[in-house]
Copies of this chain bind each other. A is one copy, B any other.
């Protein structure tokens, strides 16, 4: 039974604080350089280099050279889902340990409002979006799964959102993976639909990244369009 040893091996890679910080920094789906990741983890570049080599060899990260920089990113959606799962358990354990909501730093404010989670939106913006779509009968979600309704599919296609990949079932529905929002403790839309929504928000200029953070800022046009199209007050 080789998989048990593999379980410990993989988990211990995430189990080191420096590597965990690097992985967390990559959870927004971007590709970062070794130096940036070293800063994120508060370690020297040599240390980061060693960690990155191990993570890459284990298949957690993918690396591509570009000039004298080397950009590292999560190797696959499976890695992102794994990290989500670990964070969910960590949050659950914390909640038991300390009943009151743990901290709300000043910088956290922006993160809680809107951020990316690998390839989709997260934070209050994402939860509000899911709620708005649900209220209009465009989306149905439960703990075990979710889907766009035929009306929801039409609506999003009308906005110009390409959804060819996760094509609808024989009754015009397309499944959405629910992802438990880390800060809101409620599900938002992940999977192919979530990725398409997120891509569209960036393409339309509704959101943009704040400095080098994982947090997103809703632009003025974004506020206007999100209110007009989805009826949500963002930002």
**Bound Cα distance from A103 to B19, whole angstroms:** 30
What's the nearest-Cβ distance from chain B to residue A128, in Å? Answer: 21
What residues on B are CB-neighbors of A84 within 8 Å?
Answer: 85
Interface flag for A64 (CB, 8 Å): no
CA distance A75 to B140 in the complex (A): 28
Q: Are A86 and B10 in contact (CB under 8 A)?
A: yes
Contacts of A85 in B (CB 8 A): 78, 81-82, 84-86
> Is the beta-carbon distance between A2 and B86 smaller than 8 angstroms?
no
Binary per-residue interface labels of chain A (52-93) against chain B in the complex, 1 for a CB within 8 Å, 0 otherwise: 000000111000000000000001101101111111111111
What interface size band does chain A fall in? 35 or more
A2 CA to B93 CA, complexed, in Å: 13
Copies of this protein in the assembly total 2
Looking at chain A's contact residues, the main secondary structure is: helix
Question: Contacts A86-B82, A94-B2 hold; do A11 and B9 have CB atoms under 8 A apart?
Answer: no
Tell me, yes or no, whether A5 is within 8 Å of chain B by CB: yes
Q: Is the CB of A175 within 8 A of B144?
A: yes
- The answer to whether residues A92 and B1 also contact, given A8-B15, A12-B15, A144-B166 and a CB cut-off of 8 A, is no
A93 touching B60, Cβ below 8 Å:
yes
Q: Does A191 touch B at the CB level, under 8 Å?
A: yes
Which 6 pairs of residues, A with B, have the shortest CB-CB distance?
A12-B15, A59-B93, A145-B175, A144-B191, A15-B15, A8-B20
* A-B residue pairs in contact (CB < 8 Å), sample of 20: A4-B20, A5-B17, A6-B87, A6-B94, A7-B86, A8-B14, A8-B21, A11-B11, A11-B20, A13-B15, A14-B15, A59-B89, A59-B97, A60-B89, A79-B89, A82-B85, A140-B175, A144-B175, A145-B191, A146-B175
On A, residues with C-beta under 8 Å from B are 1-17, 19-21, 23-24, 58-60, 75-76, 78-79, 81-94, 96-97, 102-103, 105, 107-108, 140, 142-147, 149, 166, 169-171, 173, 175-178, 182, 190-193
